[in-house]
Amino acid sequence: GIQVEQSPPDLILQEGANSTLRCNFSDSVNNLQWFHQNPWGQLINLFYIPSGTKQNGRLSATTVATERYSLLYISSSQTTDSGVYFCAAASTSGTYKYIFGTGTRLKVLA
């Protein structure tokens, strides 16, 4: 099945800094999604992005499907951005099996 890897595993930033989180996947995908898990454990949908680029406020994401990776950019980080960021992907051969990466734990310091 598809393997999903994320880097870095941990990240500490000062408020106002920018960051890039990476998600690599082992197979061709037709589904890719980024989530933020807040400190209360809720999973918040950030982007559904099997290919291309999307932006939502200070966050943007790019998926280069042919090279099997996706990037999440956080600009001007705020303390409320703290939490764990997950990507999840489903391959073209296993469309319904949505597999998660191990996450990037982000802490933004005031």
Partner 1 sequence: NAGVTQTPKFQVLKTGQSMTLQCAQDMNHNSMYWYRQDPGMGLRLIYYSASEGTTDKGEVPNGYNVSRLNKREFSLRLESAAPSQTSVYFCASRAGGGAGELFFGEGSRLTVL
Pick the binder of partner 1 from 38, 42, 78, 79 (CB under 8 A): 42
Pick the binder of partner 1 from 11, 13, 23, 88 (CB under 8 A): 88
In degrees and rounded to multiples of 5, residue 66 shows phi and psi of -65, -25
Which range touches partner 1 (CB under 8 A), out of 15-23, 45-53, 59-67, 72-80? 45-53
In degrees and rounded to multiples of 5, residue 80 shows phi and psi of -70, -10
Interface with partner 1, residue 33, by CB under 8 A: yes
Interface with partner 1, residue 8, by CB under 8 A: no
Cα gap 46→41, rounded to integer Å: 15
Interface with partner 1, residue 43, by CB under 8 A: yes
Determine what percent of the chain falls in helix, strand and coil, rounding each to the nearest 5: 5, 60, 35
DSSP 75: -
Contact residues for partner 1, defined by CB under 8 A: 1, 30-31, 33, 35, 41-43, 45, 48, 50, 86, 88, 95-103
